[in-house]
Copies of this chain bind each other. A is one copy, B any other.
């Protein structure tokens, strides 16, 4: 069948969107190309008209997630209190509930690190976030504090998602959020 001019580009983007979501939600290894294509109403054979391998899609989907999250972070920057807003969003119950739409670091970095050659994109995502936090921490130790804050945010979100007991999950999320916001505000005074 022949389609409109940009049809293929649109299909490609649909694959990237869905993959980016499933990779973050279920993990890369646990996401098959067959179910992925089926979820879009397509058959698996067509996949290779768009990408040369699953690995290529992993890289592109991660990049897509990174750009998406950068946009979302910039929303926080536009607010009155950029850093507290960013922290509150990152450690929100909404973010915890939607790993497929959220930061790829807590969900994908362990698996990507365990693979043969980790992606250079992980470095880039981390650097971007550190720079963003640092730029909004007007204190001497901003470079150091930003590392602690990112580590704590990624760790708290990861643990809060891995736990069975909802009360413990809330405690991990909310306590980290509260302390990090305190630190970010204390330092800007």
Contact residues of A with B, CB < 8 Å?
A: 25-27, 29-30, 99, 105-114, 118-120, 122-123, 126-127, 143-145, 147-148, 150-156, 158-159, 161-165, 168, 171-172, 175-176, 178-180
Contacts and interface: CB of A to CB of B under 8 A. Distances in A.
Given A159-B105, A159-B126, A163-B126, A27 B172 contact: no
A114 B25 contact: yes
A176 B151 contact: yes
Q: Which of A25, A147, A153 has the most CB of B within 10 A?
A: A147
Given A151-B155, A159-B150, A162-B109, A144 B178 contact: yes
Nearest to A165: B123
Contacts of A154: 155, 158-159
Nearest to A26: B114
Given A151-B152, A154-B155, A156-B155, A162 B113 contact: yes
A151 B99 CA distance: 18
A64 to B, nearest CB: 18
A98 to B, nearest CB: 13
Nearest to A119: B164
A144 to B, nearest CB: 5
A165 to B, nearest CB: 5
Contacts of A159: 105, 109, 126, 150-151, 154
Contacts of A152: 148, 151-152, 155
A174 to B, nearest CB: 9
